[in-house]
Chain A
Amino acid sequence: MFCEKSTELIRDLQRVHDGQLPAFSEDGLRQVLQEMECLYEQNQSDVNEAKSEGRAELIPSIKLRHCCLLRNQRCVTAYLYDRLLRIRALRWEYGSVLPANIRFHMCAEELQWFSHYKKSLASFMRALGGGEGLDITQDMKPPKSLYIEVRCLKDHGEFEIDDGTVILLKKNSQHFLPRWKCEQLIRQGVLEHVVS
């Protein structure tokens, strides 16, 4: 059956939970592209034949193949675009440096897209408010309290807060810190918000 591979790509994406990024299916993509090449070649020869020998009975099969080609194209772009959206979401979740295990699931072009996206976003945030700059990836939730209790999940080293005090973030230590300084670290999994 035509288009089976391309639907399989889409299904693969749908199977994983929202926001998770499965490994890039280089193989699946190659197979779809091969199928498309095949269909295209068959169509070319049929079109030539239909033209030169006037064989009108070939036209329906040409149409069918063309529809399959279009469908394949659509499925492939949908697959790629949906992955981009997931990668975009990762930028907002993890900050500009992605964990190695996620990078491992991306293809070279995706990494490139990500770095371009990262740059555009950074220059957008820098230019905000007439060049003053504002990090809009912070403050994701409405602030409820100024300071929050956090527990350290891994060794992170020294960490400076606004008033210049330096604290040591050691594994399993507990701190009472300004919320706006910890948000990023919580999302990165260094700190954990302790809700008592």
Chain B
Amino acid sequence: MSDALSDDGSHEDSQEDVMTPAELIVKLEEAWLNEKFSPELMENRSEVVECVMEQLTHMEANLQRVKKGDAKASIHRMEIDRIRFVLSSYLRSRLQKIEKFFPHVLEREKSRGEGEPSLLSPEEFAFAKEYLANTETYLKAVALKRMPPNLQTVDMIKAVPQPYLDSFVFLRVKERQENILVEPETDDQREFVWSCAVDLNVEVCVLVWMAPGDHEPAEITRP
């Protein structure tokens, strides 16, 4: 992949113009896998979502022009279905995490500094707010308002479990990188020299499990 497509620079319009559909799908798949396998909510990639949806509409429109019974049409149709599945699955897993951790997600959004990119897309933010309000109203109406005065509130932050950030995740190395130091959790401050994934998205939230000892630096490159 070229530098123009690296993760940190994708928000600028000028760079999106150079993306081919194939590259776009690679980006979508990357976002999808990261989201699916990380325990917490990742940064939103609504620019990718929007582009893919545009692309899908475009493909559908193209398909309308193909005459019936053409073998090419069904291959394209299948491709559309697959892309739509990945896209839906990506959005679904985000939504599931938002529902599961809604107080924490909103809290993080609140404490977000000026200029920091938002975790949630505008529509996800609206959804999370509504979900919180809805659930609070419900609990209040059914039980809390009939409880003794000092027990009529529930602290959602405490009541709803947090994402488990110490869980293990698998990483795939995209680029060879020497001398990445992963701080060990153990007392003896052994240094692990490891060739490690440089995907920022994953690295932030994980504790990478590794067997101690001498290892040849592994190198797995993304096709």
Rounded to whole angstroms, the CA-CA distance of A77 and B147 in the bound complex is 11
CA distance A129 to B123 in the complex (A): 10
Residue total for B at the interface (Cβ-Cβ under 8 A): 43
Interface flags for B89-125 (1: CB within 8 Å of A; 0: not) read 1011001000100000000000000000000001110
Q: Are B135 and A136 in contact (CB under 8 A)?
A: no
Checking A76, A113, A128 against B53 with a beta-carbon cut-off of 8 angstroms, the contacting residue is A128
Is B204 located at the chain interface by the 8 A CB criterion?
no
A33 to chain B: which residues have CB within 8 Å? 143, 146-147
| Interface check B177, CB cutoff 8 A | no
Whether B143 pairs with A29 at a CB distance below 8 angstroms is yes
Asked whether B88 lies within 8 Å of A70 as measured between CB atoms, the reply is no
A80 touches B138 (CB 8 A): yes
B148 touching A129, Cβ below 8 Å: no
Provide the bound-state CA to CA distance between A127 and B77, in Å.
24
What residues of B have a CB within 8 angstroms of the CB of A31 in the complex? none
Q: Output the least CB separation between A115 and chain B (Å).
A: 10
- Contacts A36-B151, A73-B147, A109-B142; is A134 near B124 (CB within 8 Å)? no
Whole-angstrom distance between the Cβ of A19 and the nearest chain B Cβ: 15
Q: Which residues of A contact B192 (CB under 8 A)?
A: none
A190 to chain B, nearest CB (A): 21
CB closest residue in chain B, given A180? B81
A29 shortest CB reach to chain B, Å: 7
List of A residues within 8 angstroms of B49 by Cβ: 128-129
22 A-B pairs, CB-CB below 8 angstroms? A29-B143, A33-B146, A36-B147, A76-B143, A77-B143, A77-B159, A80-B138, A80-B142, A84-B135, A84-B138, A88-B99, A109-B142, A113-B134, A116-B130, A123-B123, A124-B95, A132-B53, A135-B88, A136-B91, A138-B88, A141-B85, A146-B77
Beyond A77-B154, A143-B78, 7 additional contacts (C-beta under 8 Å) are A69-B148, A77-B159, A109-B141, A117-B134, A120-B127, A127-B123, A128-B123
